[in-house]
Chains A and B, each alone.
Chain A
């Protein structure tokens, strides 16, 4: 990891309940100084709870938190050296942009002179390209500009740690992409530690050094974007990452005379010889997972094949997605945009071996994947 001006963060066994609801279960997570870590998960999975506990806005039921070398578990929010950007920005509506930006400096640095505050505010505003808005009120500027002001109010104190709770979710799609780039550039320059909450996997993938993925208050996996995408720890992670959900085929693996066969509902898939080792999972209910990108039209040597009928075709710019009926299951796949596809066509499908994943149906845990050379 790059050493920066940021501080490290360590969650040790953090738990939080609201009555019967487990908002956060036994979280252990270490974040390096200067790292950009996204907390990713569906709504209600405990991301905001994690962030609020880190900020000191709510207290954990159990466990402790370190920021740098300091145990901050019982410190008040203002003494943790953090700054936070709220999802709805939480700009002070009755103050001008300049007053909003100056507020943290006035609140803390009571020894700062007016001139020093003014200079710092101007500096931060210019960095974010909002220098010309200082005299306006929050309701007089656009959503994207408000977002920058919220960022600026966090930056103005040079915090060691930034906490951002879904900061881009109120912006339109184009602006979101632009702000993503700007955020990344900002992180590169500031080198602060950033903890970033989002439910958008593509945002997490494009911004983060590492992603911590949550479900139901539990941390499922933490790793680099490539790692999480390529080596999901379980079916939930595999399905959450990627633009589209995986194909999930419940079934069993059996050894037959003709090789290893995956038996799904009304569909027998003969696995290629490279995956013959998968026969060892014959003793349990398993789920075969494959992303749409791994399901292609046409024949290929030494790959899993099946026959199917096209049910639906969607054009998505750079590619087409199709849904096809194969036996008792529906498979979604991807094809080049110029491939002629018509509903009702009979097609041969190839399931790319390196895109195949095998999950334990009961626990969801990943058992093996086609991309593993060791398989």
Chain B
């Protein structure tokens, strides 16, 4: 402003739309969740204030530790493998040949169809009676295990669901990062005598850091909170082997109808997200390692 009459009020006027959205979709639900989490809420009936009792109950439940560990191991495996596959695809499809464009579209398909439909599709593929995987295994004379009935295979199936769906997301994010590297830098490095591996390690990887970090965080948050995969694909089984924190919240809230405890659990999951992201950032920092002389 030319007249220097910039008041705080004017500044907030520009921030207002964003603030309203944040308030409506983040702060209000969070506050409501906090409110419910310290009350008895049964069958949608708001009861008495009961302090931290809900928290104590959910944290001391015999299945809590199980679902915490399930969530951790699923998130880590899905994150690592999805990122690796997505990165591989991005590097492989970072060209503008008609083949690459077609392949990119195909890779993107699992990401654009509804999660629910995707997981049901995979459930069918993995099913014992008519599934494609057991059929293919039989073709090669391998007696296939009953995938969704075995704890380890069920977890693997869930991770596969994550890779199958979300490596497309990782690919898109990383492709955008790759595209933002000025081509001249790569040419300059080639003339400077660097081979493909050195160009990848010393030029591309460092310049991709922002894209990599964003991809990792988005994937981590997605996997740590995902409900559809366990709910549809495995039902949390067998024997709770794939029951994630998100699925537990769902069950406490909408099967036991104990919304007080469910909200306490949701707040716990929220804290879990924050800690996970902080840990990821810390690990990421460590990898910087300058190429000093």
Contact = CB atoms under 8 A, between A and B. Distances in A.
A42 interface: no
A78 B185 contact: no
Given A93-B207, A94-B206, A103 B293 contact: no
A76 B191 CA distance: 9
B255 interface: no
Interface stretch (B2-10, B118-126, B192-200, B262-270): B192-200
Contacts of A177: none
Nearest to B194: A107
Contacts, number: 65
A92 B190 contact: no
Nearest to B185: A90
Contacts of A82: 191
A78 B192 contact: yes
Given A88-B184, A94-B206, A94-B207, A83 B293 contact: no
A153 B291 CA distance: 16
A104 B207 contact: no
A121 B191 contact: no
A104 B192 contact: yes
B187 A104 contact: no
A99 B292 CA distance: 7
Given A86-B184, A103-B202, A77 B194 contact: no
Given A84-B191, A90-B182, A117 B293 contact: yes
Contacts of B56: none
Contact of A83 (B185, B191, B203): B191
A84 B191 CA distance: 7
Interface string A84-106: 10101010111100110011100
B206 A107 contact: no
Given A83-B191, A103-B194, A92 B185 contact: yes
B291 A95 contact: yes
B207 A153 contact: no
Interface string A194-207: 00000000000000
Which residue, B187, B194, B292, has most C-beta atoms of chain A within 10 A?
A: B187
Interface in B162-214: 182, 184-185, 187-195, 198, 202-203, 206-207
Contacts of A108: 192-193
A121 B292 CA distance: 13
Given A90-B187, A93-B207, A94-B207, A107 B193 contact: yes
Contacts of A282: none
Contacts of B190: 57, 76-78
B192 A99 contact: no
Contact of B293 (A77, A84, A102): A102
Contacts of B188: 84, 86, 90, 92, 153
A79 to B, nearest CB: 9
Contact of A78 (B193, B203, B207, B290): B193
Contacts of A17: none
Contacts of B206: 94
A114 interface: yes
Contacts of B192: 78, 83, 103-104, 107-108, 153, 157
Contacts of A121: 293
A114 B189 contact: no
A99 B291 CA distance: 7
Nearest to A58: B187
A118 interface: yes
Interface string A307-342: 000000000000000000000000000000000000
Contacts of B202: 92, 103
Contacts of A114: 293
A103 B189 contact: yes
A95 B198 CA distance: 14
Return the 8 tightest CB-CB contacts between A and B, nearest first.
A108-B193, A104-B192, A78-B193, A90-B188, A107-B193, A107-B194, A90-B184, A94-B206
18 contacts: A57-B187, A57-B190, A78-B190, A78-B191, A78-B192, A83-B192, A84-B188, A88-B184, A90-B184, A90-B188, A92-B185, A92-B202, A94-B207, A99-B290, A99-B293, A103-B194, A107-B192, A107-B193
Interface of B: 182, 184-185, 187-195, 198, 202-203, 206-207, 290-293
Interface of A: 55, 57, 76-78, 82-84, 86, 88, 90, 92-95, 98-99, 102-104, 107-108, 114, 117-118, 121, 153, 157
